[in-house]
Amino acid sequence: MPATDSSLKTSVGTLSLNNPFLLSSGPTTASGRQIRHAFRLGWAGAVTKTIVPDTMGIDDVSPRFAAWKGQDAGLLGFENIELLSKQKLSYWAGEIAAIKKEYPDRVLIASIMASPDPTEWQNLATAVQNAGADAVELNVSCPHGMPEQGIGAALGQHAGLVRELTHAVRGVVGIPLIVKLTPNVTDIVPVARAAVDGGADILSAINTIQCLMGIDLNTLEPLPSVAGCSTYGGYSGPAVKPIGLRMISEIARELSVPLMGIGGVSRWQDAAEYIAVGASAVQVCTEVMWSGAGIIRDMTRGLSGYLAEKHFADVGALRGHALPGIGTHAALSRTDVSLAIIDFPERCISCGRCVTACRDGGYDAVSLEEQHVVIDKNRCNGCGLCSLLCPEGVIVMQARVHGQGK
């Protein structure tokens, strides 16, 4: 097994992790084999694919994934309409017991979902606790397939139902109780508060975002096309990270509850950002589906190096570090203004993108004179658009000295 870096050790409530990286519930944890493979590679924990009552039929379609890819074929966004675990409760009870015996130092969390009947949730929770699960995660947030049946996100969008189900499960289990929240709400904080009021020890967020990936313009079929038809699915991948960061930070600012961040974690940098806004650990699924569980090596190595570079003793020292800088729009400074400057003129390739952008989407402050970019400081309003578009990093934003005119 890989050596444990002490700086990466973290705790989420009473759960102790060798590092802050867990596999989230989904296709990557559909079997005990996959979880064992991940543990061998160095993942600190895993959340099983969501376990349901044996009476609930799970019948997947094909194909059930769609992707939004960049020009280099790299993943930007991913849609998933796969349903929950097809395995029986007895399978998972046996696998949980066996995996915990083989990997006692790893955290194994059982994800469960049932009908609105609290008794079904209690029965599942009791079974996985008896099997040896370290924690139970209530999936009240799946955005596809399940809401049509009145479960999944159909439950998680109502604070009262979340409180009721959490309270019911809290009454029958002694292991840590996690509630996985849906982003498909106007405000996630009231639902998060309801989960905590119901007895949740930890919150995980976010589950996937309901979406329609696209339309095949050759066939005019929605994607993924299942015999010419499709449905709304769960959106994940790098593009959803900003939404996940917003929601984790919103919860962290309002509630003193341990958090696991989910959504768009593809590199160690993404994990560091989630931790900086209040998460104690992160869960990963989509990037493992695309690149394999071996990404854990670069993730742990990169995060460890970053902590050392920034002189953070451990993950806990980074946790919430960025939160004080997040507030209301009204509270943002109107006196500290940054202006665009040409910092690396030798890099300029005279592509003109900055000129076009500032002319049509800014303040007409950028021009090309004799194949060199020139910025009119009297026109520049400090929006930063040109610096974002520059492919060579020629234009940067520089803070204006107090009292200095344009």
372-375 and 366-369 beta bridge pairing: antiparallel
Query: Which residue in the list 142, 211, 358, 390 is annotated as catalytic?
Result: 142
Q: Which two tokens stand for residue 304?
A: 């460890």
Q: Rg of the chain over CA atoms, in angstroms? A: 24
Q: Which amino acid is at 351?
A: C
User: DSSP states of 259-282 as a string?
Assistant: EEEESS--SHHHHHHHHHTT-SEE
CA 157-162-166 angle, to 5 degrees, is 155
Q: Are 232 and 222 in contact (CB under 8 A)?
A: no
Phi/psi-derived region of residue 281, left when phi > 0, alpha when psi is between -120 and 50, beta in every other case: beta
User: DSSP states of 155-194 as a string?
Assistant: HHT-HHHHHHHHHHHHTT--S-EEEEPPS-SS-HHHHHHH
Going through 74-220 in order, the beta strands assigned E by DSSP cover: 75-80, 107-112, 135-139, 177-180, 202-205, 209-211, 214-216
Distance, in Å, from the CA atom of 382 to the CA atom of 379, rounded to the nearest integer, reads 9
> Residue 142 catalytic?
yes
CA 162-166-171 angle, to 5 degrees, is 155
| Length of the chain (residues) | 406
Nearest 5°: phi and psi at 229?
-125, 165
Burial readout 116-138 (b: 16 or more C-beta within 10 A, e: otherwise): eebebbbebbebbbebbbbbbbb
Distance, in Å, from the CA atom of 263 to the CA atom of 354, rounded to the nearest integer, reads 32
Q: Which two tokens stand for residue 146?
A: 């399940």
Q: How far is CA 88 from the centre of its chain?
A: 28
Residue positions annotated with a catalytic role: 142
